Structure 1
Amino acid sequence: MIVTFITAPILGRLLHPADFGLIATSAPIIGFVTMIQNLGLTQAIIQRQMITKGQTNTLFWLSLLLSLTFAAGLSVLAPLLARYFQEPRLTAIIWAGAVLTVVSVIAEQPMALLTRGLRFRLLAVLDILGIVIGAALGVAIAWYTRSYWALLVPLACARFLNLVVSALAARWFPGRPVWDEAARQMIGFGAGLSTFNVLNFFARSADNLMIAKAHGAVALGFYDRAYKLMLLPLTQATWPLGRIIIPILSRLQDEPEEYRLTYVSSVSLLMLAVQPGVLCAVIYSDATVALLLGSKWAEAAPIFAWLGFAGLHQTFTSTTGWLFISQGRMREFGIVGLVGSTLAIASFAVGLPWGPLGVAISYVVSDYALRLPFTWYMTGRAGYVGVGDIYRIVIPHACGLLVSASALVLVKASLQAPSPVALGGILVVTYVINSAVLTLFRPKRLLMIRALKVACRSVMLRATS
C-alpha cells in the first residue's frame, strides 16, 4: 500500500488523465477473460479438505485449455473492440492483455497450492516484490516515455514473477489428469464461484464501459482514478487477509464456535485498520486527491468522496464472500451476485446522464438502500455467522465512525485546506477517536487488548532473535 501511495502521485503527474482512461477502457475486457477462463478452480483447490496431484493436474489442464481459447478469441476481437470505442490504440493493449491472461492462469495453480499449504510468508514476499519491482519499472517507463504502457508494466511484472517463483517454491509441474468424482465436485464448486465472479465483474466494470462510451476517455480517467483510489486501502488490506482466512475457515467447518470467533476477530481488526483512514480521506477528499494525484485531478475529488462513502461499509461487506466460499454455499453466493450486480448496473444507468459524478452518487444510494441489507440477510440466514453476529460486529464500528466524522467536520470548518503534515495529524486523531469509542464496547476492547499483546510479543521476539 505504501508503494502504491508513493507511485500514484508520480504517475498522476507524469501521465495524462486520458492515458488512465485508455487503460481503464481495456481493463474490463481483459479482466473478464482473466476471470472466466479460470472458472473459480483456484479457490476450489484451496477450499477442498483433501486433494490429489491428479486432481490438481485435471484442474490445471482444463484452466489452460480455457485460457488459450479465450485469449485467442480476445485477440481476434481486439480490432473490433478498438473500432467500437473509436480508439485504435486499444488493439495492441488488448493483445498484450491476452498474453498476460495466459501467464496468469499458468501461475494460479502453484499459487493456490502455496496458499493451501499456508505458506503465507512466501506469498507476502512475492506480492511485495511484484509491487516494488513493477512500480519502479512503471515509474521509469512513464518518466522516459510519458506513455500509457507504463500502466501495464506493474501488472506484467507481477504476473511473470508469480509464475516463476510460485512454480519453483511449490515444486509442482503439471502431469497426467485424473477425472474422478472429486474433480467433478471441484469443477462444480468452481463453476458456482465463477458465476458470482462474473456477475460481480459486470457490476464493477459496467460503469467504466458506460462512461467511456457516453462521456469519453478523459471523463473515465477521472472516474477510474477516483475509484481505484477508493479501492486501494480495501484491496490492499482485504485481499491478502482473505487469502489467509479462507483456507483457515475451510479447515474450521467442524468447529462452529472457533469458526465464528476467527471470522469476527479478523473482520473487526480489518475494520479498525481501514475504516478511519477511509473516513478521513472522504471528508478531506480535495486535499487527499491533490496530495496523491496532483492538482490536475481536482475533478476526481467529489467522485472519490462519494465512492469512499460506499467504501466504509464495503470494508466489511466484501468479507462476506469468505463465509460463502469456506462453507461451500455457492448457490446463495450466486444469488447475492445476481441481485447485487443487477442493482449496481441499474444505478449506473440512472446516474449516467449526469456524468461520472452522477454515476457515483446513484451507485452509493443504491448500495446503502438495497444491496447492503440484502447481502447481510443472505449472509446470515445460514452458516456459522448469523445476522445478529453481523450487527454485533458492525454497530460499534458505526458508532466510532459517527463520532469521528462529527469531529472531522468541526475540524474542517476551521481548516479547509490542510498541509500534508496537518492532514497526517488529522488522520492520526481520527484513528485515536475511533479506537476510543470502540473501547466502550467490551468485545471490541478485549479484542484490541489481545491484538496489542500479540503485536508486542511479536516485536519482542524479533528483537531477541
Structure 2
Amino acid sequence: MKLSEKSPRVTTSASETAHNLGSTAARGALITLSGQGIRILLQIAGVVVLARLLSPHDYGLLAIVVVIIGIGEIFRDFGLSSAAVRAPELTGGQRTNLFWINAAIGVSLGGVLFAISGPLATAAGQIEVQSIARAMTVIFILNGLTTQFRAHLMRDLQFRRLAIIDVIAPAFALAVAISAALLGWGYWSLVAQQITQALAILVGTAVGARWLPGLPNQNVSVRPFLRFGANLVLSQIVNYGANNVDTAVVGFVYGPTSLGLYNRAYQLVVTPLSQIQSPVTSVAIPVLAKIQEDQRRFSAYIVRGQLALGYPISLGLVGVAVAAEPITRLMLGEQWLAAVPFLQLFAVAGIARNLAFVGYWVYVVRGLSGDLFRFSLATGLVPVICVVVGTQWGVLGVAAGFAIAPWLTWPVSLLWLSRVTAVPTRALFTGALRIIGVAGVSAGAAFSVTIALPAMPALLSIAVTAVAIGGTVGLLCLIPTIRRDAKSLLEVGVLVKRRKGL
C-alpha cells in the first residue's frame, strides 16, 4: 500500500517540475517582452527627437567608432556570459574568476581603442573620430564589469530585474542625450548617451544581482568555460565582420554623411529586431538548457519558438518595407528621406536573419560552439562577396548585397545544424516556408492597397498598411496549416498571459 502511494507522488513531482519550468518561461517571456516593448518605444521616441536635433554627419561619426566598439565587445564578453548561463553547475569561485577575466579584458580593450584612435581617425578622414574613440574607451571597462552580474541574473531567471534595468538605463541615457543635444553638443550627445547607458546598466545589474565577487582564486579552474567561450567568440567575430562589412565600406568609401543615412535606416530595423531577439534568448537559453535531455520536448520548444518569433517579426518587417517612406517622414523628418530604400532592404534582410535565429539557441544550449564557429567560417564570405559586388551600384548596391546574403545562408544554417545535433529540421523548414509565404502575400496586398489609394498623411498611410496586412493574414487563416499556426500562437499568448506551462 505504501508503494502504491509513493508512485503517484513521483509522477506529480515530475509534472510539477515541468509545469513550473513552463510557468517560469511564460512569465519570463511576458516580463521580458513587456520591458522590451517599453524600451523600443523609448528608442522610437529617441529617434524622432534626436534625428531632428542632430545631422546624418553626427550619426556617421559615431557609427565609425561603434563598428570598432562592436568588434571589441565580442572579445570583451568572450562568450563567458553564455558559458556561465548554460553551465549545469557554477560555483562561487568560478563566478568570481569569470568576473575578473571579463573585467581584465574590458580594461585591455579600452587601452587598445585609445591607442588606435589616431590611426582610425586618419583612415576615416575625420579628425573628430579620435576624440570620440578615446572617450568611448570607458564603455569597454564598464561593460567588462557588467558581464557576470548580468549572467548571474539570467542564470537565476531574474527576468523582472533585468527588464527593469533594460528600461531604466536607456531611458536615463536618452534623457541625457536629448539634454546635451538641446545644449548644442552635436555628436557628443550620442557619445554621452552610450556612456551613460553602460554606466546605468552596470549599477543596475550589480545592485540587482546581490552578489559581489571575491578575489581571484588560482585553485579554481574555469578552463571549460574559456574553451566554450573561445569557440563562441570566434564564430561571433566571423559573423560580426561579415554582417558589418557593409557599414565599414560605406563609412570609409562614401563618407560619414552617407553612413549616417545608412546607419539610421539600419538602426530603425535591426536594433528593434535585436532588442526582441536578445531578451527572448535570455529566457530561451536557460529554459532550454534544463530540458535538453528530453528531445521531444526540446524539439517542440524550438519549433514553437521559430513560429512565435517568425510570424510577428516578419509581418512587422513587411509593414516597415511597405510603409518605409511615411515611417521615415514621420520618425526622422524630410532631411532623411534618402534613407527610405535602405530601410526597405534592411527589412527584407531582417526576415531571413530572424528565421535562422533559433539555430543559435541550439548551438549554445548543446555546447556546440566549435561547430558554430566552423559554420560561421564556412558561410562568412557570403555577405562579404554580396557587399563587394554591390559596391558597383554605390551605397544602394551595398545595402542590396547586405539584404541578399541572409537569404542565401539561412537554409544552409538549418542543414548544417542537423548534421551536428538532433533538430526537427523538416518542421523548421516547413514552418519557415509558411512564414515566408504569409509575409510575401501580405506584402503584395499591402503594397497594392497603398498604390491604389491617393497620397495620405504619414500616420494614416502607416495605419492603412497595418490594416491591409492584418486583413490579408485573416484571409490566409482560412488555409488549414496557417490556421493551425495561428492557433498555436494564440495558445502561446494565452499561456504567457495566464503564466501556465508551455
Q: For 1:150, what is the secondary structure of its paired residue?
A: helix
Change (3 A) 1:294 1:3: same
Counterpart selection for 1:381 from 416, 419, 428:
419
Q: Distance in 2 between matches of 1:135 and 1:79?
A: 28
Correspondence for 2:338: 299
Change (3 A) 1:416 1:373: farther
| C-alpha contact (below 8 Å) 1:400/1:438 kept by paired residues | no
TM-score w.r.t. structure 1 length? 0.93
Correspondence for 1:454: 495
Correspondence for 1:462: none
TM-aligned CA deviation for residue 398 of structure 1: 1.8
TM-score w.r.t. structure 2 length? 0.86
Q: Distance in 1 between matches of 2:477 and 2:189?
A: 43
- Superposed counterparts of 1:194-205, under 5 Å: 194-205=233-244
| C-alpha contact (below 8 Å) 2:246/2:402 kept by paired residues | no
Correspondence for 1:391: 429
Q: Distance in 2 between matches of 1:242 and 1:455?
A: 16
Q: For 2:136, what is the secondary structure of its paired residue?
A: helix
Counterpart selection for 1:92 from 96, 118, 131:
131
Residue 379 (structure 2) pairs with residue 349 (structure 1) = no
- Superposed counterparts of 1:185-200, under 5 Å: 185-200=224-239
Counterpart selection for 2:275 from 225, 230, 236:
236
Aligned residues: 458
Q: For 2:77, what is the secondary structure of its paired residue?
A: coil
Q: Distance in 1 between matches of 2:253 and 2:467?
A: 41
Work out which of the two has the higher radius of gyration on C-alpha atoms and give 1 or 2. 2
- Superposed counterparts of 1:97-136, under 5 Å: 97-136=136-175
Counterpart selection for 2:90 from 51, 76, 84:
51
Q: Distance in 1 between matches of 2:68 and 2:218?
A: 32
- Superposed counterparts of 1:48-447, under 5 Å: 48-179=87-218, 183-368=222-407, 370-415=408-453, 417-419=455-457, 420-434=459-473, 436-438=475-477, 440-441=480-481, 443-447=484-488
Q: For 1:80, what is the secondary structure of its paired residue?
A: helix
Residue 392 of structure 2 aligns with an amino acid whose one-letter code is P
Correspondence for 2:12: none
Q: Distance in 2 between matches of 1:209 and 1:348?
A: 11
| C-alpha contact (below 8 Å) 1:127/1:158 kept by paired residues | no
Correspondence for 1:35: 74
Change (3 A) 1:425 1:339: same
Deviations 1:30-71 (A, max 9, x none): 221222122111111001010101111221222222222221
Q: Distance in 2 between matches of 1:193 and 1:109?
A: 17
Structure 1: gaps spanning 5 or more residues: 460-465
Where relative contact order (Cα < 8 A, 6+ residues apart) is larger, the structure is 2
Structure 2: gaps spanning 5 or more residues: 1-39
TM-aligned CA deviation for residue 232 of structure 1: 3.1
Q: Distance in 2 between matches of 1:386 and 1:437?
A: 25
Q: Distance in 2 between matches of 1:422 and 1:80?
A: 46
Q: Which moved more, 1:350-359 or 1:173-182?
A: 173-182
Q: For 2:212, what is the secondary structure of its paired residue?
A: coil
Q: Distance in 1 between matches of 2:119 and 2:300?
A: 51
Task: Say what the alpha-carbon RMSD is for the aligned residues.
Answer: 2.0
Q: Which moved more, 1:137-146 or 1:298-307?
A: 137-146
Q: Percent identity?
A: 24
Change (3 A) 1:83 1:224: same
| C-alpha contact (below 8 Å) 1:277/1:430 kept by paired residues | no
Residue 243 of structure 1 aligns with an amino acid whose one-letter code is S
| C-alpha contact (below 8 Å) 1:130/1:158 kept by paired residues | yes
